[in-house]
Structure 1
Amino acid sequence: MPDSEPSSPSPARAGRVIVRLMDHLTTRWATPGSGRVAVCSPLVGLVSGLGAVAFLVLLDLVIHGVLGEWLGLVPPPTGEATPHPISYPKTWWLVPLVPAIGGLISGFLVFTWAPEAEGHGTDALIRAFHRGGGQIRARVPLIKGVASVITIGTGGSAGSEGPIAQVGAGFGSFLARLLRLTPDERRLLMLAGAAGGIGAIFRAPLGGALFACEVLYMTAAMESAALLPCLASAIVAYSTFALFITPRPIFIVPALEFHGLPELPLFALLGIACAGVGWLYVRVFYGMRDHLFRPLPLPRHLKPAVGGLLLGLLAVAFPQLLTGGYGWVQWGAIGLPPSLTLPGQSAFEPGMGVAMLLSLALLKTVATGLTISSGGSGGVFGPSIFIGGMLGGAVGQLLGAALPGLDLNPAAFALVGMGGFFAGVSKTPLSSIVMVCEMSGSYSLLVPLMLVCGLNVGLSRRWTIYEEQVASPVDSPAHQGDFVVDVLERLRVDQVRVRTEGLEVVPAATPFSQVVRRVARSTETLFPVVNEEGLLTGIFSLRDVRLALLGTANLGELVIADDIARPPLTVTPEDDLHTALKRMTELNVDELPVVPADGPTRLIGLLGRKDLVKAYSAQIEALRSPSEPAAA
């Protein structure tokens, strides 16, 4: 007799398995903290990467058409470009006119449809995290992106990190609202979007992820819960960006080496110089906003045009100040690599001297203030890289001339200056180190970068370019209550006084008229209700009695205590105090019945809110003043 073939599962059985699986997934999805952010982060990264591609392509088109075709300004190439000659503006009167027109259009867009999109954008992201519950209006990313393209494309001294951060963060916030995620999850998705956009547009995925976690705080604190979502988003965003634009280092540097201890004092001098210019940068940036543009008696829509006009007048003498200026840093402070030199040019020979490098570094602080502090749209990362690179190149040339025997390379100081300067003004040392290494494709100067970034952050603790930063998570409204919960979760109910005497226990069959008399004579606020066997069946409060009086006027003895009691919401001695406080809040009472875990209807006593708060205060005091170890 032939062997029978194994029976295949029936369609009905397979259908039941699929239904159970879908029910399980639906239940898991509805549970906060079950990995919903991890699932959504790659999608946010995909959109952020596409947004970075669109932003960069559109920006290149506007710069080429407006600055290149109209003004005749062709800056030196960056590491991603091809060799071409440098060209300066041919018609001087167009130089102030073009940024003014760009500011006029940008101001109209921003202040008409999304006033919160003014400025450098990253502060708006930080404010949305700390005080806005991760909420960003859906129109803000679009308005911010278009306005920034117009501002930067017409010569505004601004960078790309602010706009692309808001584009990515805006989608993260939108997706969280669409899926009805919690405010905490919405904040994390917002940061993931920012990390993806920044990591893609600057070809620095790890730096972008670290920046989104680090930029929220002025100290060494980071938003550690956001790190994995930010990494996931940055990976996908960078990979998506690479499908359309081959990622290459923005800066190409020669083979640089760090020669050890003798060079550390020289880089420390650069750190001090970065701190001084960083202080000036922040003062000029916010000084222009507070003392020049805010008091200016003009509509807000027109102020970016005024800023653009003043920038253009400055650029008549110094056209290098227009737009981002990475090419000028490559050519002026580092020197062009062999792949970008024209016939007759030397490789890696800085095209500017000390005087021009210092002048541009200082004037860029003014140019950025005129662009962004007036209400123009753009970021501060690009100008900071420009200032740090020019300042570092100048310091490197000065030290090289003063110490010819050390054979110092100014390009090394330019590269370290970029990271060191931005770390100080933004309070993001880790991301600044990593981003500069990724943007240059070189990790050979990691130790000098660590020194200058750490030193500058230490020297510049009193000022920051991001005024929405807070000192630490303790100071963030987003984390309000987190630390109270942490302390309460350390304490159990059996560590607190549970009142067992003086309880007003009411039998379930007590007529309502007697209940009223007992309540009137009692000083209690919560009344446990028990059955004939003395087991807990419910509780009622003074508020429940008042409500019952309104509805039982004609029912007399038909109403008993059990009718007005609520099902008891209890705690056990093993429960933590956070659980107890949460249940008190749910019931709107100041006491809770305590029952044993193995006998949920056997009343032990009442836990009061005052005793809970007293235990919390004692624990806080113990944490602040730990006991000294006994002397040997």
Structure 2
Amino acid sequence: MAPVIGTGGAFGAWLLLKSIAIATNAFWFGRLSAQEVEITDAAVGLAIVAIPVIGSLIIGVMARFGSEKIRGHGIPEAIETILFGESRLSPKVAILKPISAAISIGSGGPFGAEGPVIMTGGAIGSLFAQCFHLSAAERKTLLVAGAAAGMVAIFGTPMAAILLAVEVLLFEWKPRSFVPVVISVLVAAAWRPELIGHGPMFPAIWPLPTDGWIVAAAAGIGVIVGLLAALLSSLLYRIEDLFHRLPVHWMWWPAIGALVVGVGGLIDARVLGAGYSNIQTLVDGSMALRAAVILLAVKAVVWLVALGSGTSGGVLAPLLILGGAAGCIAGLWLPGSTGFWAMIGMAGIMSGAMRAPLTGAIFAAELTGRFDALPAVIAASGFAYAISVLCMRRSILTEKIARRGRHILQEYTVDPLDLQQAGQLMTPDPATLPADMTVHAALRFFTEEATHRSYPVVDAEGRLVGLASRSDALRWKAGAFDEGATLTETLSDASQTTAYPETPCGVIADLIVETGVARVPIVDRETHKVVGILSRQDLLKARRAQRTSETRRSRFGRSVDG
């Protein structure tokens, strides 16, 4: 199915770009055309304030009477659908999201197409998956495959699209999801030259600085843009809180935010729209200091206010512009082209804001075609990520979901139950009941002596016959069995739930969930003799052991709890 999704994601991205071009021509030039144009070329006078408001009013109406899910970044909504919506996106969202994004960006909204195209590609994958009998995990794989395909079709960054899927969307690293995503991305990459273009989206031709401390300087830029990412995230959600306090319906919020966008356009028209030409100028190293400062300040304000108002738009292109402008400004006092430092700033701010350091590093290299700058780019991404983790509880993407009461952890760890075997956690030589014990004696035992809910029943050689529990005793007490019968004659085949010492504890945890048996006998594989028992409480030992390994510090054999 992945090649179909890759094709759908690529054509979805192409259609979105054409829709943005049509909307831009209609709003700013008054013509029906799909030709790519720049808003800065339009001469509309004071209408530059009104046009973003008109577009936002349309989006507000679409969200109110169409679907509220078209509001927002795009990526958080995709994450929420994956984790809490069984990866089911509705056809209405699949249609309205790209239309609203095209209207938003085309009317001057300071956003990029990547968030909406990720949502659109994900919707294509989700809708296709829903045509078949698939599990939620399989639907998730196809949703993410579509999202990654859309991203690679827009930017031409296949490796970064795969890493984005792993670091931000999949919440796992498994062949079942990784391989289909790779296939989908490669198919979309094959379609891109035919639909959109080939080569790096923002090619860079400057010489690479050769000073030995360039990597250290790049790490310093990473610290700066990491702090900037934390500040932007904090301001964004404070602005969103202010909009929630307004005494008007949320349908009108985008129009209110668009007033700020229009005023920002009066100051500097380059802050309107996706601004991909700004990114190219920054990467070329041809932007002057004054222009970079104005772009950084005004773009930050209009983007934060517009996004906080709940309109439809993405975060990636604005982050690239802001990080690139910050890197450009710092690069005026550093060796080499300011374009190099703009690239460093772009990688760092993306890594810090989205908590995706590998994606940020490779994305910058693929966008510019400068893989020779990877050491410096990795330094910036790693340090920006570290600063982000220290300064922010969550990323700019997951904070939005957390505000709805759903906390998301972006750290991948191995399940401690999959690292340990039953023999490591079981209680050895457990108390057992003889197979020839009568039901009458067993009833008395469970009434007067039993300290556990269940006991293994073994024959004379210690081999497992079954498991007797308090629930069995209640049935016997009700008179459903002959009290003179032995446990061998009474126990059913359902009581033969067992595991072996080498069985992974994760498998036993699944067994407990499926059967409802709280204590699983552990038997020797060859002799079938009972060697231990594993309870739900024992399984928690694995969690405690992991916690201890993370918090207990030791030096030369001495341990100290930290």
Tell me whether the two structures share a fold, i.e. TM-score over 0.5: yes
Report what 1:14 is aligned to. none
| Alignment-derived partner of residue 210 in structure 2 | 259
Length, aligned pairs only: 544
Aligned match of 2:265: 315
2:421 paired residue number: 491
Shift of 1:484: 3.6
**Equivalent residue letter for 1:65:** A
Q: Which residue in 2 is equivalent to 1:339?
A: none
1:365 aligns with 2:314: no
Match of 1:445 among 370, 373, 397: 373
Q: Which of 68, 73, 77 is the equivalent residue of 1:124?
A: 77
The whole-number CA distance in structure 2 between the counterparts of 1:278 and 1:616 is: 37
Equivalent residue for 1:504, pick from 430, 433, 441: 433
8 Å CA contact 1:529–1:537 kept in 2: the answer is yes
Q: Which residue identity does 1:372 align to in structure 2?
A: L
* 1:237 paired to 2:172: no
Q: Secondary structure at the match of 2:333?
A: helix
> Compared with structure 1, are the counterparts of its residues 532 and 619 closer, same or farther at alpha carbon in structure 2 (3 Å cutoff)?
closer
Quick one: which amino acid aligns to residue 432 of structure 1?
A: G
Alignment-derived partner of residue 343 in structure 1: none
Give the conservation status (yes or no) of the 8 Å contact 2:354–2:397. Answer: yes
Higher deviation after alignment, 316-325 or 235-244: 235-244
- Cα deviation code 1:359-388 (max 9, x no counterpart): 111110111122211011110111112223
Match of 2:396 in 1: 465
5+ residue gaps, structure 1, are 1-39, 78-85, 336-347, 401-405
C-alpha change, 1:630 and 1:507, in structure 2 (3 Å) is closer
Q: What are the Cα deviations for residues 284-303 of structure 1, in whole angstroms up to 9, with x where unaligned?
A: 32222112x11111111111
Give the secondary-structure state (helix, strand or coil) at the position aligned to 1:224: coil
**Which deviations, in whole Å up to 9, do the C-alpha atoms of 1:169-192 show, x marking residues without a partner?**
233344555545444444444333
Separation of aligned partners in 2, 1:212 and 1:375: 25
Residues 161-310 of structure 1: pairs in structure 2 closer than 5 A = 161-215=114-168, 223-225=172-174, 227-261=178-212, 267=218, 270-271=221-222, 273-275=224-226, 277-291=228-242, 293-310=243-260
1:586–1:498 Cα change, 3 Å: farther
Partner of 1:542: 470
Out of 97, 100, 106, the residue aligned to residue 153 of structure 1 is 106
Report how far residue 201 of structure 1 moved: 1.0
| Further displaced range: 164-173 or 96-105 | 164-173
Output the amino acid matched with 1:483.
D
Q: Normalising by structure 1, report the TM-score.
A: 0.74
Picking from 296, 302, 315, the partner of 1:380 is: 315
Q: Distance in 2 between matches of 1:497 and 1:532?
A: 21
Is contact 1:98–1:155 with CA below 8 Å preserved after alignment?
Answer: yes
Structure 1 residue 102, shift from structure 2 partner:
1.3
Structure 2 residue corresponding to 1:612, chosen from 521, 531, 538? 538
Q: For 1:76-120, what per-residue CA distance to the aligned partner results, in whole angstroms no more than 9, with x for missing partners?
A: 87xxxxxxxx96443324222221121122122234343233211
Q: Which has the larger radius of gyration?
A: 1
Deviations 1:421-447 (A, max 9, x none): 333322333222322232233334334
Distance in 2 (CA, whole Å) between partners of 1:395 and 1:585 is: 57
Q: Which residue of 2 aligns with 1:344?
A: none
Runs (5+) with no aligned partner, structure 2:
none
- TM-score, normalised on structure 2? 0.82
- Distance in 1, Cα, partners of 2:341 & 2:425: 60
Is 1:130–1:478's contact at 8 Å kept on the other side of the alignment?
no
Deviation of 1:164 (Å): 1.2
Look up the SS of the partner of 1:155 in the other structure.
Answer: coil
Q: In the alignment, residue 467 of structure 1 is paired with which amino acid? A: T
Matched residue, 1:12: none
Residue 93 of structure 2 is matched in structure 1 by 140
Measure how far apart 1:307 and its partner are. Answer: 1.3
1:48 is the counterpart of 2:1: no
Distance 1:202 1:607 in 2: 56
Structure-to-structure mapping, 1:470-619, within 5 angstroms: 483-487=415-419, 490-493=420-423, 496-499=426-429, 501=431, 503-507=432-436, 516=443, 519-523=446-450, 525-526=453-454, 537-547=465-475, 552=480, 565-567=491-493, 568-600=496-528, 604=530, 607-609=533-535, 612-613=538-539, 616=542, 619=545
Instruction: Call closer, same or farther: CA 1:369–1:560 in 2, change over 3 Å.
Output: same
1:103 alignment counterpart: 56
Which stretch has the larger CA shift, 315-324 or 561-570? 561-570
Contact kept, 8 Å, 1:527 with 1:539, in 2: the verdict is: yes
Asked if 1 retains the 8 angstrom alpha-carbon contact of 2:422 and 2:522, the reply is no
| Deviations 1:115-173 (CA, angstroms, capped at 9, x unpaired) | 23321111223334455554544543332222111111111111111111112223334
Once the 2 structures are TM-superposed, how far is the Cα of residue 334 of structure 1 from its aligned partner?
5.3
CA deviations on 1:198-223 (whole Å, 9 max, x unpaired) are 11111111121112222369xxxx85
1:48 to partner: Cα distance? 1.4
